[in-house]
Structure 1
Amino acid sequence: MINLGKLVTEQSERSPWREALVEPGTGRRWTYSEYNAGINKAANMFLDLGVTPGDRVAILMQNSIEFMQSFFALAKIGAIVVPLNWRLQEKELEFLIGDAKPKVLVYHDVYSERVQGLDSVQSIQHLVQVNGTVPDGLLAFLDAIEAVSDSEPEIGAFDDDDLFIMYSSGTTGRPKGVVHTHRSILWSLLSNIMTVDYRVSDRYLLTMPMFHIGALLPAVITVYRSMTLVIEREFNPSSFWSLIAAERVTNSMVVPAMLLMLRKNYDPLKNDLSTLRWLLTSAAPISSELIHHYLDQGIGLIQGYGMTEVPAGFMLDPEDAVDQAGSCGKSMVHIDMKIMSEDGSECDVEQPGEIWLRGPQVMKEYWGMPEATEESAEDGWFKTGDVATVNEEGFVSIVGRIKDMIISGGENVYPAELEKVLAGIAGVAEVAVIGATSSRWGESPVAVVVREDERLSEEEIVRYAGQQLAGYKKIVAVRFVDELPRNATGKILKRLLREQFSDLRLP
């Protein structure tokens, strides 16, 4: 029977001496034996607070040992973990807490004032603060776990019992609570491990926020593969390379925007990357030029596609990165995929259509949203809402979200296709394409560009796009910005761009 919390118990029995966790910011290092003991203490603390199987416990913490300690503790006793995005505003947090209705909220001291100001905390039975001076009447995490035993708690959930509710990024609207079970996450681990080169004793640097599946899943994978997890509170481009050298890191995950920042901070004379085998990246395609830059440093880039609802999707190996630039690879092991047209038939080679995925990795449901759950499924398949093409060799390329599609003169225009072309222009650092109202065509594509070279003009971009793209796809206007709005995982929030340029009217 499957319980994700037991993974640490099993590794502590097999390799109690192996280093499990490193937190450079605090200097703490835990073996698997210490990791399991700390998890058991947290589990027994939650039990003393009256947490029972099926109860929700919210976590508002930056990356830390306490986050993982709480996650595995709650998994063991059968509670449902609700990771909260600490970048959200108070109104957004109010919604998530009101939707999940947690019995306990565990939070870092840096969020104390924010937590105290939330109306929704009045419905929470226990507030547990990690670090800092704890307000009267609240519980101090470190004091509470020291007062309990590190004995193994009774396992409270198995298999298809709920493990966590993770709220989607909400790139197109209100966030939905994605429910995963112990079984669906185990299968997601297996798909990733069977597809990606994770090895026993690897050292994985985690800088992505743990409230996102792209960070939490690798953190659990490190336990499954008996690896070491090196935890950074948050991404810092100025210390990333030196930390890889100091901690002999073998792998990590970054999004394309982070790759651009890291390129500027890399010094081959100062940074020893001899242990680093690969970096995983997702959220957006990366240019051939950026791929070549990292290959020249001896760093393999693995490009992936996944989502909160299905944490196992596609993966592009470093060996194919150059020849298949712009692709997110082929299906991972144990996941079925097909590309479907609007008429319900499977698409031909290079024909755009919606990605449908099927496998035991798919989420159980959207929390409290049966209609949305039903709309997302058909005959056992999950409909992703992403549009893609597949070439003759089976490589998948994302061309956009269905909701981001531009209809110009009756023709479907997929922003990702245009963005891939525009990313090849010298002087373009980042680009997003949105649709704007056109009196003649209904909608026309507009490029929102972050420049590396301030001399780059709108005319140059429009002219280049006109030479590379069909007439109905041509860029008719360009807007330059200092940065593109993104969510915590690096995905561009085109909803905000459309709002920003909602007054734009084109001929």
Structure 2
Amino acid sequence: MRTYWYVNNKNANEGATLSEQQQQIAETINAARKRLDLATDVDLQQFSSLVDMFDYCVSSYTNNPAVSCLGYTLSYGDLDRLSAQFASYLQQHSGLQPGDRIAIQMPNILQYPVVLFGALRAGMIVVNTNPLYSERELKHQLNDSGAKAVVVLANIAKTAEAVVPDTGVETVIVTEVADLHPPLKRTLINGVLRHVRKEVPAVSFRKSIPLRKALAQGKSGNYQKAQPKAEDLALLQYTGGTTGVSKGAMISHLNLMANVLQSQANFTSYNLGIGKETFIAPLPLYHIYSFMLAFLVMLEGNHSVLIPNPRDLNSVIKEMKRWKWSGMSGINTLFVQLCKHPEFASLDFSALKVTLSGGMALTHGAAHEWKKMTGAEIYEGYGLTETSPVVSVNPGKGNQVGTIGIPLPGTDIRLVDDDGNDVGVGDRGELCVRGPQVMMGYWQRPDETDKTIIDGWLHTGDVAVVQEDGFLKIVDRKKDMILVSGFNVYPNEIEDVLSEHPNIAECAAIGVPDEKSGEVVKIFVAPKEGSIDESELKAFLRDRLTGYKMPRYIEVRDELPKTNVGKVLRRTLRDEELAKRAAK
């Protein structure tokens, strides 16, 4: 597998010949960095690996609160102790070897960072896994990654129970929501969820162990600290790409470390303190955006409040009331919903310094309403799974709503037209990125890697403009990807599932605008014979797709528009849909 990474930005550009347009863009962006007092480069030699970075955090901030959830807090010292126990269990009792893949399928609970850092410290490769996955999706990811173990929350373990026998998973580690809480609170919370709310189904695996028992086994031994190299694989982060089949983006220790350090350099513009800030973390840690931010918060010794279910706005508000919080990450949908909540306006926003937005476009309306209610601005950024994830972000000293800000230090930007020719400042072109945060490639898919990373440049599929002031703006999306509340939904995946239906001859999926979630899925289907029972079709899809991928709209046609060679024209369907909506 070809590896794409850089020791530092200087070496990345050494000997490179820039076109006139690339040089113009670079000079414009660097002028903006200088004007706004932003770093142009970052020292990537500070840590040798994510394990080294984690060790620095827990030794530097031992007594600081690290993570809180459901009213209980783990200090950095607690994270050190518990993750070491889990690492010891993995090395001495699980049968796993360094380099083996371990899937984590949990929402934002205290166990997540313990398991994550324990796995990395033991030399394992982490596979982040969406707790909402259907059986089909989970089976594909476990098989594709070659995962040999999975750590799963008991509440959602029924899906894993159904698919694990058809995968290479040898060990299942099961945890309950309050497993790391004190005994009395643990018994109460877990008991209510299991016996009163009936939210914990009975499951059976061929080989499984409760997480608490695994930690107890690990407590009796010492783990041997892994010594991964910067270029070693740390994380398989799955993304649909453009082919419909979910692919694992290979994120190295260096990729993620670089992005944390690059982002930290920009954080200076938000006037955040070291070891003094509390961040509300509602976005799921299995998503690369929230995953990287958690590392960043830790590097500065600050405190993250984990929200297990951000869709439950009452629980989000409850946590916000509990803490004097100074930062938050979110997406446009969540900001809109919170501002509409009757209790939100009564919260104490006096400590709030920074609100970060990513995953989907931030609307002017949401940004305006948030500032009106909280007194603080939202700073939008841009990134992809393949860039670990941040490419650019709005700085604290020059926020421009409607843009994606300034590229992070050490990040090169290039814009190309449809023929691959460079375009300059003020012109539209596909955004291409080069820098130390760009992934190593797609797991076991060199052909897909070579289509995405060309001559060291990652082609994003998004059309952008570099403004005269050096700020970037996304103006179009070249790919067919649908963005639902910050989650990538790929039409090919939905169409592949639709094609399994016995009475569908043709199908297509597109994204249509939605005030709440940015976009939602609409499908077009042509039956083989007779008609389509929409209720039956929805039930068919519900068994095979995660909730946010479910179509909101279904349109049945006799046939779909196609090219001369028979390819369904999604763009035609999208244009027709937009025209129809504009006419209303």
Residue matched to 1:185: 256
Residue matched to 1:30: 74
Shift of 1:195: 1.3
Aligned residues: 430
Task: Show the 5 A alignment for 1:425-436.
Answer: none
Listed as ranges, the gaps of 5+ residues in structure 1 are 406-414, 417-433, 435-445, 453-491
Post-superposition CA distance 1:153-176 (Å, at most 9, x none): 321422111101010155772221
Q: Alpha carbons of 1:171 and 1:261: their partners in 2 closer, same or farther (altered >3 Å)?
A: farther
Shift of 1:280: 0.7
Cα distance in 2 between the residues matched to 1:279 and 1:144: 37
Mean Cα displacement is larger for which, 256-265 or 112-121?
112-121
Choose from 399, 407, 410 the match for 1:331: 407
Choose from 295, 298, 306 the match for 2:375: 298
Alpha-carbon contact 1:387-1:399 (below 8 Å) kept: yes
TM-score by length of 1: 0.78
Choose from 191, 195, 203 the match for 2:278: 203
Q: Alpha carbons of 1:209 and 1:119: their partners in 2 closer, same or farther (altered >3 Å)?
A: same
Residue matched to 2:429: 353
Cα distance in 2 between the residues matched to 1:447 and 1:5: 40
Matched to 1:178, the amino acid is A
Residue matched to 1:473: none
Task: Show the 5 A alignment for 1:416-431.
Answer: none
Secondary structure (helix, strand or coil) at the match of 2:479 reads helix
Asked if residue 312 in structure 1 is aligned to residue 403 in structure 2, the reply is no
Matched to 1:41, the amino acid is Q
Cα distance in 2 between the residues matched to 1:58 and 1:391: 42
Post-superposition CA distance 1:168-205 (Å, at most 9, x none): 15577222100111111110101111113354222121
Q: Alpha carbons of 1:447 and 1:403: their partners in 2 closer, same or farther (altered >3 Å)?
A: closer
Cα distance in 1 between the residues matched to 2:396 and 2:266: 12
Cα distance in 2 between the residues matched to 1:451 and 1:154: 49
Cα distance in 2 between the residues matched to 1:360 and 1:270: 43
Cα distance in 2 between the residues matched to 1:286 and 1:350: 21
Choose from 99, 105, 110 the match for 1:60: 105
Higher relative contact order (CA 8 A, sep 6+): 2
Shift of 1:239: 3.5
Matched to 1:248, the amino acid is K
Cα distance in 1 between the residues matched to 2:316 and 2:279: 12
Matched to 2:60, the amino acid is R
Choose from 297, 305, 325 the match for 1:222: 297
Q: Alpha carbons of 1:291 and 1:241: their partners in 2 closer, same or farther (altered >3 Å)?
A: same
Q: Alpha carbons of 1:171 and 1:211: their partners in 2 closer, same or farther (altered >3 Å)?
A: farther
Cα distance in 1 between the residues matched to 2:240 and 2:278: 28
Secondary structure (helix, strand or coil) at the match of 2:409 reads coil
Residue matched to 2:360: 284
Alpha-carbon contact 2:354-2:376 (below 8 Å) kept: yes
Cα distance in 1 between the residues matched to 2:351 and 2:55: 28
Sequence identity of aligned pairs in percent? 23
Asked if residue 153 in structure 1 is aligned to residue 230 in structure 2, the reply is no
Shift of 1:344: 2.5
Shift of 1:294: 1.9
Residue matched to 1:139: 209
Cα distance in 1 between the residues matched to 2:259 and 2:442: 18
Cα distance in 1 between the residues matched to 2:308 and 2:166: 25
Q: Alpha carbons of 1:267 and 1:139: their partners in 2 closer, same or farther (altered >3 Å)?
A: closer
Post-superposition CA distance 1:430-483 (Å, at most 9, x none): xxxx9xxxxxxxxxxx9945469xxxxxxxxxxxxxxxxxxxxxxxxxxxxxxx
Mean Cα displacement is larger for which, 327-336 or 110-119?
110-119
Matched to 1:128, the amino acid is I
Cα distance in 2 between the residues matched to 1:383 and 1:447: 21
Shift of 1:390: 1.8
Shift of 1:267: 4.2
Cα distance in 1 between the residues matched to 2:164 and 2:117: 29
Alpha-carbon contact 1:219-1:229 (below 8 Å) kept: yes
Cα distance in 1 between the residues matched to 2:266 and 2:317: 26
Residue matched to 1:44: 88
Post-superposition CA distance 1:381-425 (Å, at most 9, x none): 1111111112211221112221249xxxxxxxxx99xxxxxxxxx
CA-based RMSD: 3.1
Post-superposition CA distance 1:70-119 (Å, at most 9, x none): 11111112110001111121111111111011111111101222111115
Alpha-carbon contact 2:262-2:409 (below 8 Å) kept: yes
Mean Cα displacement is larger for which, 394-403 or 381-390?
394-403
Cα distance in 2 between the residues matched to 1:371 and 1:101: 19
Residue matched to 1:443: none
Shift of 1:15: 2.6
Residue matched to 1:20: 66
Shift of 1:146: 1.2
Asked if residue 88 in structure 1 is aligned to residue 133 in structure 2, the reply is yes
Alpha-carbon contact 2:125-2:236 (below 8 Å) kept: yes
Secondary structure (helix, strand or coil) at the match of 2:379 reads strand
Shift of 1:247: 1.7
TM-score by length of 2: 0.68
Shift of 1:255: 0.7
Listed as ranges, the gaps of 5+ residues in structure 2 are 1-46, 177-199, 484-490, 492-509, 517-547, 561-572, 580-584
Secondary structure (helix, strand or coil) at the match of 1:49 reads coil
Alpha-carbon contact 1:57-1:82 (below 8 Å) kept: yes
Residue matched to 1:10: 56
Choose from 143, 150, 153 the match for 1:108: 153
Secondary structure (helix, strand or coil) at the match of 2:346 reads coil
Alpha-carbon contact 2:103-2:150 (below 8 Å) kept: yes
Cα distance in 2 between the residues matched to 1:349 and 1:220: 34
Cα distance in 1 between the residues matched to 2:110 and 2:166: 24
Cα distance in 2 between the residues matched to 1:106 and 1:447: 33
Secondary structure (helix, strand or coil) at the match of 1:327 reads coil
Cα distance in 2 between the residues matched to 1:355 and 1:93: 31
Cα distance in 2 between the residues matched to 1:154 and 1:246: 37
Residue matched to 1:377: 453
Choose from 143, 148, 168 the match for 1:98: 143
Residue matched to 2:121: 76
Alpha-carbon contact 2:53-2:299 (below 8 Å) kept: yes
Cα distance in 2 between the residues matched to 1:141 and 1:123: 20
Post-superposition CA distance 1:15-49 (Å, at most 9, x none): 321111111x2x32111111100000000111121
